[in-house]
Structure 1
């Protein structure tokens, strides 16, 4: 995942909003600065400023090698002296060292003897006047140290002095605003995005519940943000196309299975008329397998639409009938056939025809893969289980889950299409049960049909 392009929509929005705010504020500062410079150059912002003389003296103050206070002849100080011949000031430090120039106005002279007791003051002839004061007293930090300055209020606000205050303005006012807006973005954006995406989370949860057995499902549009509606509509359209494709596929399989039954029946009749022998036995097995497969496809099609029409069926009766039907095929293939039951009747709720075909498929699977030796045992237990045992080589534990995959065969090139066990598993799931693979006592395979609920016997 790229750091510059995170997958998280929340943090992508946070980053872009914060960047947009930073760019906007930067442009705003530049515009304000440019306008201020233009106004300053035009003389519109230069006016009276009572601290101009004090600022000029502060920047010019220094000390000589002996540590005495002195003034550097700065351009600002030279201009101030040229414009105001009556310039006056008194500069003193905490040790009592003093530097002065000019004559202190008579009205302000008394304060010079009390400077030790003054920290900061604005001196006016009349307190009711709104004009700038006649003098200022203030302790300031200078290149010569912290000094007290008493001076008049000459001069104006210069353009450079105004520009010098811009960084301070940025630090004191604009920077806190930037920090607060960034923090607000980091806190508020994830919350707003989560609230806006609540409906999308509900749609995602509903989408997770969609299953192949639930067709015609559409995701709701009323709870998702308007920007996500086209995506949800596209998903609904795709679901609709899948439903139509599934329906066409289902109708094709049903039609194909129905059409195959007649030629399979004709083929079985012609094979039965052949002389007895190994080739006839194999042909009968193949014809029977085709007949079972066609019947199972038809049963799955019917059960897919009619799972609510289950009735009580007797597992003992189903197993007995399957053993009777397939015993000749098993005998011809070289097996013994055995049937065991723990009770006279074991009743479950289901479809008689599809369960009979599922068990037929298991028995035929045992005939195909039992190595043509030993006994094929079909047993019905009172707990609602039908077991089919053979004396073959069994099924390795690491392949017991894979054999239920469609078109999956343990031995490539073997007989069959690899659909039988998948169909059995589907039939058992439709009946609320499951199919298990185990090891028979003889070392062969044990296929077990397990039903969840057994009806009480009468």
Structure 2
């Protein structure tokens, strides 16, 4: 079976891919613009500032001194023209290397500055320097220094570090978190109506899917489904009215016909009595189906009492046909259901045993289950599902309406129970209906 396409996946993946490509394009454009704007020379790599700050210490007199740390030694090896000035807020300062005369006016006033990139457009770029305020263990220091130079344009690095990269990371994380959340929240109404639809069956006619929580784009589909449910309900009601009307209309003429046939002396006419009885039984069973679907009343049921009533009512019929019927109560458990419907189930199973089984019928109560056993020829395994179909008969000329076992199946479906066919020890058939205990 072809797998249904996902709606959430494109709603999440496509926007994320689009956002990523858009950000990447914006990143590239900004770098290109920065490269075009940036016409200055190399700039001083700001990574020298933390190295310098770690190398500045205080002496016993409270002044500043320089400690040759391994990092500072490596930096000096890399940048042989390294120089810097470190100054605290109190005016104390320390100098390393040869500071160009151009910066002499800044000495003693560095603490008034916080950040600057000073660039030199003429080789060897010995005037390129960086000013940055740094918090250290000995207090805040303002450092002016020259060391390792970077050939990459300053505007590119500045734009990347301060604008592009933070925005790129923020938007990417936001898209990864917010987009799936928005999609799931937007489609929550769809999941809700899906759960509502799963609860709709033949016993919940009149129910409709809620349109209050679905997106506007899905609402037309929900309305179309509700219209379809409404049409199905209307068709079902028309069918039920027809069955009820037809059954009631047939009952009276059938009763009149049956009385006339019973009063007749002719063998031919009396032979028609079986056909009349079959029509009468079919009419009653159609009415039973109608009553089951429209007038169900669930109460606590004593299956042993149900068995006693049915066996008592049908015993004369079984004996008149030369058979026997008995009741065995092995165990009795309370259960919930419609008494009239369950009595009809037991009546139909006993009548089925009389019509198609042998001469001896046993009704057995097993907790919340009922069994009807006969000593007839049995039912082949290949036919055990089909016997519950309407008007299906194992033998074409068999008596009965063909609706009895179908009614049994319908009642058990209505009660959430099950019906199964087993082999009897005598070779006959055992019909077991199980309601489940309360």
* TM-score, normalised via structure 1 length: 0.59
Contact kept in structure 1, 2:281 and 2:400, CA below 8 Å? no
Match for residue 119 of structure 1 among 52, 61, 82: 82
Distance 2:248 2:231 in 1: 26
What displacement does 1:338 show?
0.6
Q: 1:320 maps to which residue?
A: 312
2:11 to 10, 13, 17: 13
CA deviation map 1:26-80 (0-9, x unaligned)? 654676689789xx6xxxx586x2449x9xxxxxxxxxxxxxxxxxxxxxxxxxx
How far apart are 1:429 and its partner, in Å?
Answer: 5.1
Q: Answer yes or no: is 1:242 the counterpart of 2:242.
A: no
Give the superposed CA RMSD. Answer: 4.9
Q: Over alpha carbons, which structure has the higher Rg?
A: 1
Aligned to 1:422: 406
Matched with 1:222 is 212
- Candidates 440, 447, 456, aligned match of 2:431: 447
Q: Which runs of 5+ in 2 are unaligned?
A: 45-77, 85-98, 107-115, 129-145, 147-151
Q: Which moved more, 1:391-400 or 1:306-315?
A: 306-315
**Residue 268 of structure 1 aligns to a residue in which SS?**
helix
For the 8 Å contact 2:375–2:428, the answer to whether it is kept is yes
**1:234-278 deviation line (CA, Å, top 9, x unaligned):** 33333222222222221111112112223333443454336447x
User: Are residue 260 (structure 1) and residue 250 (structure 2) matched?
Assistant: yes
Alignment CA distance shift 1:316-1:452 (3 Å) = farther
- Asked if residue 379 in structure 1 is aligned to residue 363 in structure 2, the reply is yes
Do the aligned residues in 2 keep the contact of 1:337 with 1:376 (CA within 8 Å)?
Answer: yes
Q: Is the 8 A contact 1:295 1:357 kept in 2?
A: no
Distance 2:285 2:314 in 1: 14
Cα 1:23–1:382 shift into 2, 3 Å: closer
1:233 corresponding residue in structure 2: 223
Contact 1:300 1:354 in 2 (8 A): no
Structure 2 CA distance, aligned partners of 1:383 and 1:46? Answer: 92
Inter-CA distance 428–286: structure 2 relative to 1 (3 Å threshold): farther
* Distance (whole Å) between structure 2 residues aligned to residue 302 and residue 388 of structure 1: 24
| Number of equivalences | 354
Query: 2:252 matched to 1:289?
Result: no
In structure 2, how many angstroms separate the alpha carbons of the residues matched to 1:209 and 1:425? 21
1:301 to 282, 290, 295: 290
User: Is 2:356 aligned against 1:369?
Assistant: yes
SS for the counterpart of 1:317 is helix
Correspondent of 1:196 among 186, 204, 229: 186
Residue aligned with 2:212, SS: coil
Secondary structure, aligned partner of 1:215:
coil
* Aligned residue runs from structure 1 range 24-423, under 5 A: 24-25=22-23, 28=26, 45=37, 49-51=40-42, 117-119=80-82, 123=100, 125-128=102-105, 133=120, 136-137=125-126, 178=168, 181-182=171-172, 184-272=174-262, 273=264, 275-276=266-267, 283-308=272-297, 314-325=306-317, 328=320, 331=321, 336-342=322-328, 354-370=341-357, 374-381=358-365, 383=367, 387-397=371-381, 399-406=383-390, 409-410=393-394, 418-423=402-407
Q: Secondary structure at the match of 2:376?
A: coil
- List alignment gaps of at least 5 residues for structure 1: 55-114, 140-149, 151-160
Aligned to 1:339, the other structure's residue is in SS state strand
Higher mean C-alpha deviation, range 254-263 or range 354-363: 354-363
